[in-house]
Structure formats: C-alpha cells, structure tokens
Amino acid sequence: MKTCLAVDIGGTKIAAALIQSGQILKLKQLATPSSDNPDELTRALRELVTPLYEQADYLAVASTGIIDEGILTALNPNNLGGLNQYPIAEVFEHLCHRPVMVINDAQAAAWAEYQLLDSMPSSMGFITVSTGVGAGFVINEELVTGLHGIAGHAGHTLADPNGPMCGCGRQGCVESIASGTAIGKAGQLYFGDECTGEMVFTQYLDGDSHAKDIVENAAKTIANLVADLKISLDLQVICLGGSVGLAPKFLSLVQHYLKQLPPAYQIEVIHAHSGANAGLIGVASWAEHFFQQTDL
C-alpha cells in the first residue's frame, strides 16, 4: 500500500499529513510565513516535511494560487505576503526526492468533497472562504483544473463594481468583501488595527452590531456567488469550506440570503464533510489517481 505525503498551503496555515487509502495517519501544521522572500516559505516547508517525507512514496501538494507547470503564481499576491512566481514542484522535489504533483487548494478540496457526496451528482462546486475566496468544480464527474490551472478562481468574479480594491488588481471582487482577510480589514475600523476575520466572528457571536453587519455582508456576497455559479454551470450542490465557511452560523446566513432569490438560483449548500482537511484528502486522492497511471 502506497503512502502519500499531502501538503496544503493556504494563505494563513500550512498543513502536512501522511495519508494511506484516504486515512490521515499523522498531521502537522504551522503558520504560513508573511514574507515576500521565497526562502522563508521554503524554510517553513522544510520544517514541516522533514519529519514526514521518508515514510512517503510520493508527494501531493495543494496550494493557494494558480498552479501551472509546477509554478505557483499568486492571483492575489497579498495573500502570500507579496510572494509570487514560486517554483513549488521543484522545491518539494529538492526537499523530499520523491515524485511530486501540485494543484490549486480549492480544486483539491472540491475533489475530496465530490467523492464524499452520497448522491454522486454529476456536477458540484466547492467554495472556500478562508484567507481568500477560492473555488473548485467537478463537472460531468471530472475535476476542472483548466488549461493553465486557473479554473475555479471564482473569488475574483465581481461582487460590487464600487467595492474595495482587491489584491489581484481588480475592484470589487468577491474576495475583497467576503474573505477572512476582508472581514478582518472591515473590522479594523471598530476593533483595532490587529483585527482578524476570526476576531470579527467572536464579536459577531457576542452580539456586536458592527460585526453583524460585516459578517452578514460577507454571507450575502457568498450567497450571490453561489447563485452566479448555479446559474452559470447548472451545479447540483455546493460545499462550503475554509475557516470562515465553516464558522458557526455562516452557512445558515448564506442559505438565508440565497432563499431570497428566485427559484432558478436555488441550490443545496452544505458544509465540507472533511472540514479543514478537505485540501489534504483531496490532493492525496487526486495524486493516487495520477500516479497509478504513471506506474510509480
């Protein structure tokens, strides 16, 4: 039985796990460095994988950013402390001397969640509301990665043409309003310069009215994204993940705003079954599929 070392690189945290037949055997996690120096990220990745890689046959990496030909290009470099154009596949090959496969984190999570659905629909979407807002799609039972790895970057579709400037360079993207980063930024006006998305949620759950406005605005924005995706792709179900997507009450708020739209926009929205581990489980499963064909 082959063992996979799966790594999930997000804008806030990096997790690594040894996985066999979809089961996590060992899990380690650390904070994503907030530096535009690529050596800082490489150092963090080395620290994470060194105690694990010798037990692995291959590596499966899910990362925030556009993954094309093994290079990570940030669509929103702010999510990675300004880091861009990082040779992610080469770095892992160098660190672990094992075959490496890399895809986008939300694409990986979509693949994990698709396989866990009871009804096995032909088309589904996954949305992560986390440091950024990412998405992944399975259409006609196939994970859509896109010719250049860009497919799924629905966090950068338009939510408000007069909204905040997004780190990708476009004004009013969904991510600039509804991501954990955007929620934290909106909260800084009321809760201080160090305010994070998580702190706004704590205030929200305590009944603060400013936090309520911010969280509701984010949920309404995600509900509209859900509606746009349903009407564009005729999806059958959408899974919501990421620490904001999984935060208490957020899913029910999204469902509440979605219900106010006409019937054609309605779709079942559920929590990611594999929770925070969706990226790890999904990329391990995707790599198993990939490496089986290459007779590893």
**How far apart (Å, rounded) are the C-alpha atoms in residues 249 and 241?**
13
- Is the CB of residue 178 less than 8 Å from the CB of residue 240? no
- Tell me: does residue 229 bind ligand BMX (CB under 6 A): no
**Which of 3, 34, 188, 196: binder of ligand ADP (CB under 6 A)?**
196
- Tell me: does residue 13 bind ligand ADP (CB under 6 A): yes
Structural Rg of the chain based on CA atoms: 18
- Tell me: does residue 247 bind ligand ADP (CB under 6 A): yes
Please provide the size of the chain in residues.
296
- Tell me: does residue 198 bind ligand ADP (CB under 6 A): yes
- Tell me: does residue 72 bind Zn ion (CB under 5 A): no
- Tell me: does residue 109 bind ligand BMX (CB under 6 A): no
Q: Which stretch binds ligand BMX (CB under 6 A): 36-44, 72-80, 139-147, 283-291?
A: 72-80
**Which of 80, 91, 215, 219: binder of ligand BMX (CB under 6 A)?**
80
Residue 65 touches which member of ligand BMX, Zn ion, ligand ADP, none, C-beta under 5-8 Å by kind: ligand BMX
**Which of 74, 96, 222, 247: binder of ligand BMX (CB under 6 A)?**
74
**How far apart (Å, rounded) are the C-alpha atoms in residues 109 and 127?**
9
- Is the CB of residue 101 less than 8 Å from the CB of residue 63? no
**Which residues, including other chains, have CB under 8 Å from residue 58's CB and lie 6 or more apart?**
2, 4, 5, 98, 99, 100, 101, 287, 291, 296
Residue 276: how many CB atoms within 10 A of its CB? 18
Sites of contact with ligand ADP (CB under 6 A): 10-13, 130-131, 180-181, 184, 196-198, 201, 242-244, 247
